[in-house]
Amino acid sequence: MMRDCKNGKVWLVGAGPGDAGLFTIKGKKVLDQADVVVYDKLVGQGVLGMIPDQAELIFVGKVSGNHAVPQHEINQILLREALKGKRVVRLKGGDPFVFGRGGEELELLCKNGIPFEIVPGITSAVSVPAYNGIPVTHRDFVSSLHIITGHTKKKEEAEIDYHSLVKLGGTFVFLMGISAMPKICQGLLEAGIEPDMPAAVLERGTSAHQRRVVSDVTNLTKDAEKAGIKTPAIIVVGKVCALEKEFHWAEDRPLGGLKIAITRPKDRDSSLADKLSMLGAEIMLMPAIETKEIKNNKPLEDAIHDIRRFDYIAFTSPVGVTAFFNKLREMKKDIRDLGSIRFAAIGTATRDAIEKMGILVDLMPAVYSGRALGELIAARSAELGSKIGRKPEILIPRARIGTDEVTTPLEEASIKFTDVAVYDTFEAESNEKAESGNSHGTLIEFASEEADYVAFTSASTVRGFAASCGLSNFSDVKAVCIGEKTAEEARKYGMEIHISKEATIDSIVECFLGL
């Protein structure tokens, strides 16, 4: 029986082959509750971006030439953290039990009575060929699938019975066998496999920059060396490899082959990421800024106590909408207390946030900018003033660092307004600060992630990215900006600029499609 560990427990979670969309629903639910996440290099960045802020990170993979943490030490880490009563997630690329050493990690946990669960992941042995148009089984070609490791615990190269494999036939998938490719191909040939048997090597499968070399067993090593294939990669041998010419699909999607970094507040979902992902892009979420509601906000409380003196409430962001209505609920009020107040939104995202609260938006400018919003409110307020016999009053709940774009037109029209800060915006910390504090809420090392474009949705995300991305020269950064104000900030850093026609999510998607 498993002894009481003060609720400490370990979950071995398969993160899949890299594409965040292939991470399982259960894996995500378990990850959301983690106190500690022990992860390796093969976990995709998209999955790493899902790790909650409260979790402590322990990296046990190989990076920058440093040796990987030995397996026995990883086993000890899992035991140590569980004995502290923590919820420990061992996040592993692929599946924990498909040559993922999951069984080895369980041995020590079982010996010490530590509760555990297994969350299977999608193995690269099946998913990577699929993303390259290679079905590992096909009734017209093969009747079996064999997954073989290129090396074992005791030896750098596995001892493989090639004669038995060749007699069995079917599709052979070799994991962790790139360095042993010459011996693998030679072994198959000596065992009697057809010299022209189709074979493929698949690099960085399921990522935007995946590559494949399709050849035959005789020439695969030579062709892979010529193409400069590197790890991580898998080898596939079998007649099904010839189907990739007909079945390839991943790179054919509208944004297939593009890796796009999206900067956004780390506590907000990204509809832009969802749209770009559906078009085939690999998404790297980079929390360049953080927003926090202002607590003990007396100016906002005073405004809400006297809310019916206002004729318009103007919102400049979805975050402002959330902060305002959170305070409304905190004060035991709801939309009935708002009376006949009209609502104005700077753009579609803000409008949608308001309408989720059960309120239809009265004003939204054709051009989504602070200036356009202020001018529209000023024009409509003049009309409203003639009806009610006084100058209307406007409430503007927004960020503390908000610009004067929206308020200048109101001042010019002598319209009374109350500008209330409801949230603060913080730019991400530098990588050095993040590393020293074991923080992962900031940006990963951007320079090593090979993003093709960076999507910026505000000037503050540009500044947060610049402070945290690990770059000293930004001339190679291809920035896709949601509006001129954002582009103006990106130009300060010398980035290559692309600007959406409108300041909307759909427009920035169209901008990507036109690149």
- Residues belonging to the active site: 40, 62
* Spatial distance between the Cα atoms of 377 and 375, rounded to a whole number of angstroms: 6
CA distances from 506 to 201, 275, 482, 501 (A): 37, 8, 10, 10
Q: Which two tokens stand for residue 496?
A: 């290559």
Of 480, 488, 485, 477, give the one whose Cα is nearest residue 505. Answer: 480
* Spatial distance between the Cα atoms of 472 and 476, rounded to a whole number of angstroms: 11
Cα end-to-end span (Å), the chain: 60
List, in sequence order, the alpha helices (H) in 197-317. 220-227, 244-247, 271-278, 298-305
DSSP state letters, 175-191: ES-STTHHHHHHHHHHT
User: 3-state DSSP call for residue 433?
Assistant: helix
What is the layout of strands, in order, in the sheet containing 312-315? 342-345, 312-315, 393-399, 416-427, 282-293, 259-265, 453-456, 478-481, 496-499
With 0-12 / 13-18 / 19 or more C-beta atoms within 10 angstroms meaning exposed / middle / buried, residue 256 is middle
Tokens 């202002």 -> residue? 294
Q: Which two tokens stand for residue 72?
A: 């026995």
DSSP state letters, 41-76: TTS-HHHHTTS-TTSEEEE-S--TTPPPPPHHHHHH
For Cα atoms 33, 34, 40, give the angle at the middle one, nearest 5 degrees.
140
Whether the upstream peptide bond of residue 232 has omega within 30° of 0, thus cis, is yes
* Spatial distance between the Cα atoms of 411 and 378, rounded to a whole number of angstroms: 9
